[in-house]
Amino acid sequence: MAGTPFSNLFGQSPIRPIQEHIALAHECAEQLLPFIQATIQGDWDGASEIHQKISDLEHAADKAKTDLRAHLPNSLMMPVDRGDLLVMVTRQDEIANLTKDVAGLMIGRKMQIPQEIADMMIRYVELATETSAQAVKAVNEMDELLELGFKGRILDVVAELIQELNRLEHENDEMQIQVRARLFELEAGLPPVDVIFLYKVIEWVGELADAAQSAGGKLQLLIAH
Amino acid sequence: MEIIAEHGHVLLILGCIFAFFMAWGIGANDVANAMGTSVGSRALTIKQAIIIAVIFEFAGAYLAGGEVTSTIRKGILDPALITDKPDLLVFGMMAALLAAGTWLLIASMKGWPVSTTHSIVGALVGFAAVGISVDAVNWGKVGTIVASWVVSPVLAGTISYALFISVQKLVLDTDNPFKNAKRYVPMYMFFVGFMIAMVTLIKGLKNTALNIDFGLGSTFLNSMPIAAVAGLVVALIGGWMLSRVKEHGESEEQNRFANVENLFAILMIFTAAAMAFAHGSNDVANAVGPLAAIASVIGSGGEIASKSALPGWILVLGGAGIVVGLATYGFKVMATIGRKITELTPSRGFAAELGAATTVVFASTWGLPISTTHTLVGAVLGVGLARGIGALNLKVVGNIFMSWVVTLPAGAGFAILFFFLFKGIFS
């Protein structure tokens, strides 16, 4: 027996799955820093090992995303808006996707980050990872939000987490401007094709932080439902 | 008349078998729904749930089940129109029992959310309207019953919504939820004890020698002080149980409400008892009512007595059927439900159970046969509307609506078929 009519009333709550999904996406993003460090040191064996790990984690996140979507038929009554939830998962998934894109591009072209911007680049990636870690923190409040029926003092806690998330993303933005400016000073002396792709890497890392911010920020939309 | 005199014993035995079959079905499916929420939120083990179910189903049926039983027995049919045809009443009641039992068996194999109550009411109306005459049905009463099927889930949802909001305000959304849970949970326990005691005093003991009179004017007011004492006793026992729960340190895995939920799990033991009591007071009548009608006609040698007490052995038979149903099959259903309803934490499960139990008990005192499962679904949706549950499948609500549309004619059709079958065999 597949359950009784009464027990069929209860669907699978999307909250734990969405938390597990962002955890996977962030675990993937966390690999980016050691990856960049390895490339800077010219350790291509280490880098491709990490690249493999990133690829696996991105795949796992993708699968989690598909599962989550499959369990969200529109006949569900949820405390949060289904559409917002789906957008949130998409944004979360971009964290993993962009990580994989950056690592894939750099491995493929054996890209070397110029020593002059290496430290800035490391700080830049660190900030992006911190932004994604903060998004995880915010999304992890969802079970407590549910416990409280998306009401009450927990909203202040979430608001603070989101504020910090916005601050980190902004800091990451500022860093992006600085890295670009420094690269612009150097670009005349570098192979032009390399420069084009360096800009691409910088852009994607910024988008990663942006995706993390927007995923965490969706939480406020979910609460407002 | 000759038919009753000639075949009286055979008919009574058949009636007992059909009623037992029906009670078995209630025990196998319905009770599991009522208790499953407590099992699912891990407030009770299956064994504990069964013990509570057995005790309180019996208590509910015995102490507060009289009104619904009498509705099923003589409220839906107009006794005045069938006094001269006692044999038809006996055949009809047997047909209704067998029809409802058969339909329930088919429905539970298919997994349809049909209700015992709707089946038996459909069957009674069916055989009376077709087998006797359209006028034999007390349409006014039937209209009230059908209206109560719409009102009861809405009412239960409203109560459970309010209960959950009160829990948010008083306990969950406070500086120290654990401390506040210990303070306010006994209040809900008081309500459980008070409500059950009130119903028992007003309905259950009215025929006994025990006459309470504090000179307060009405049974209702006279019952109040005793019910309040009963509520207080329940709250004290509950408070003692709560005091034994210690707060554990926070772990990474669980959120900080895990400790609070442990306290609400204790409350769910009490609301599960209330639920079983409510279910017993309403649903046991579905099996017992028709049998009571058969027994009374045969016992009086063919008279349709409009006033006669419900013999105790009939209640025992109904209760025994439910217990056997629980023991042979219901525990399996309960395990299935328990595995599926893990998302419903005790702070919500109790609100749903208490909202449903209160509604059902009220319906029982008014003699309205309603569906416990549908009422519980309404109560759960009420908590869902308060944004308290992760995901509810609204398709089930659609299925329930469809099952209404199908169950009434199906119950009626089977009843008509069996009615003419019995009539053909015995007369």
Q: How much is the pLDDT for B209? A: 44
Rounded mean pLDDT, B284-313: 78
For the segment B172-212, what is each residue's pLDDT rounded down to a tens digit?
A: 999 889 999 999 999 999 999 999 998 888 876 654 445 55
For the segment B68-107, what is each residue's pLDDT rounded down to a tens digit?
A: 888 888 888 877 777 777 888 888 999 999 999 898 888 8
- Which of A178-187, B71-80, B137-146 is modeled with the greatest confidence? A178-187
Q: How much is the pLDDT for B304? A: 63
Answer whether B341 touches A (CB < 8 Å).
yes
Put simply, the answer to whether B386 touches A144 (Cβ < 8 Å) is no
Q: Chain A 37-76, CB below 8 Å of chain B: which residues?
A: 75-76
Rounded mean pLDDT, B109-127: 87
Put simply, the answer to whether B393 touches A153 (Cβ < 8 Å) is no
Residue B99 token pair = 């029809």
- What is the enclosing helix (H) or strand (E) of A55? helix A44-70
Mean pLDDT (chain A) is 93
Rounded mean pLDDT, B101-116: 83
d(CA B336, CA B6): 47
Contacts of A15 in chain B (CB under 8 A): 390
For the segment B401-422, what is each residue's pLDDT rounded down to a tens digit?
A: 888 888 999 999 999 999 999 8
Q: Chain A 113-152, CB below 8 Å of chain B: which residues?
A: 143-144, 146-152
Nearest alpha carbon to residue B24 among B276, B325, B280: B325
Nearest residue in chain A measured CA to CA from B161: A149
Contacts of A151 in chain B (CB under 8 A): 168, 173, 387
DSSP sequence for A173-187: HHHHHHHHHHHHHHG
Give residue B397's pLDDT band: very low, low, confident or very high (50, 70, 90). Answer: confident
Residue B344 β-bridge partners: none
Amino acid at B369: P
Long-range contacts from B1-4, C-beta under 8 angstroms, 24+ separation: B1/B86, B1/B87, B1/B302, B3/B87, B3/B426, B3/B427, B4/B86, B4/B87, B4/B90, B4/B297, B4/B298, B4/B301, B4/B302
Q: How far is A50 from chain B (nearest CA, A)?
A: 28
- Please name the member of A6, A11, A150 whose beta carbon is closest to the beta carbon of B337: A6
Give residue A3's pLDDT band: very low, low, confident or very high (50, 70, 90). Answer: low
Give the predicted TM-score (pTM) of the model: 0.90
Contacts of A76 in chain B (CB under 8 A): 391-394
Rounded mean pLDDT, B132-145: 89
Contacts of B32 in chain A (CB under 8 A): 4
Residue B121 clears pLDDT 50, i.e. is over it: yes
Give residue B251's pLDDT band: very low, low, confident or very high (50, 70, 90). Answer: low
- Please name the member of B336, B384, B398 whose beta carbon is closest to the beta carbon of A3: B336
Nearest residue in chain A measured CA to CA from B31: A6
Put simply, the answer to whether B391 touches A14 (Cβ < 8 Å) is yes
Rounded mean pLDDT, B223-250: 87
Nearest residue in chain A measured CA to CA from B33: A6
Task: Write the ipTM.
Answer: 0.87
